[in-house]
Copies of this chain bind each other. A is one copy, B any other.
């Protein structure tokens, strides 16, 4: 007997919990790309055996967050600059598709919620509340994903978002980024409220293009210093 004491709550949440924890750390940048993830080490850390660890790694691998070469240790997926650019680009296309569909399909309630959130965020911009704006921004995009009324499309865009999020996080630190973001959101909201699908798609593409550009600065830095939270 070695293992301390796992409650043995057979609710089937163990693996998911581990996968979430690891995904969070990868997405947050705590686990840098290229970090080796030995099954034994992870098992010890979470107090479980290798079997559920393998399952969790399988999930992360399916999400594209880790690579799992045969007979070798898994590692946090290293992303080339090219790949990252592609992911941002795909992100833009997917969100643009969401916006186009959302402009045509959102219910009145959904439109109101989107507008309310957006108008409320103006105060956060004025206050320079970076953290709060970031959260509002997240919800804003989430409403877009839901607004397209396509679960499959939403899943695709959320998956992509998760994969680029480590590189996206710090963009709001750039001076004037909050204001610019809000203005771009404004164009999106206006287009959606008036039901102009193409304009909405175009506005989203423009928005994500600047997000991509703003994030690029941090991407190039990511090699030299180890990400310090």
Task: Note all chain B residues with C-beta closer than 8 A to A63.
Answer: 62
Q: Knowing A55-B58, A62-B62 are in contact, say whether A153-B70 is a contact too (CB < 8 A).
A: no
Task: Note all chain B residues with C-beta closer than 8 A to A156.
Answer: 90, 156, 160
Task: Determine if B12 and A90 form an interchain contact, defined as CB atoms under 8 angstroms apart.
Answer: no
Copies of chain A in the complex: 2
Task: Determine if A152 and B86 form an interchain contact, defined as CB atoms under 8 angstroms apart.
Answer: yes
Task: Determine if A86 and B153 form an interchain contact, defined as CB atoms under 8 angstroms apart.
Answer: yes
Task: Note all chain B residues with C-beta closer than 8 A to A70.
Answer: 11-12
Shortest Cβ distance from A85 into B: residue: B150
Instruction: Flag whether A93 is at the interface (Cβ < 8 A).
Output: yes
Q: Interface extent on A, as a size class? A: 20 to 34
Task: Note all chain B residues with C-beta closer than 8 A to A12.
Answer: 70-71
Task: Determine if B71 and A62 form an interchain contact, defined as CB atoms under 8 angstroms apart.
Answer: no
A1-29 interface with B by 8 A CB criterion: 10-12
A82-114 interface with B by 8 A CB criterion: 83, 86-87, 89-90, 93-94, 96-97, 101
Task: Determine if A89 and B153 form an interchain contact, defined as CB atoms under 8 angstroms apart.
Answer: yes
Q: What's the nearest-Cβ distance from chain B to residue A121, in Å?
A: 27
Interface string of A53-74 (1 = CB under 8 A from B): 0110011001100000011000
Task: Note all chain B residues with C-beta closer than 8 A to A93.
Answer: 93-94, 97, 101, 153
Residues of chain A at the chain B interface (Cβ within 8 Å): 10-12, 51, 54-55, 58-59, 62-63, 70-71, 83, 86-87, 89-90, 93-94, 96-97, 101, 150-153, 156, 160
A-B contacts, 7 listed (Cβ < 8 Å): A10-B71, A54-B55, A55-B58, A58-B58, A86-B152, A89-B153, A97-B97
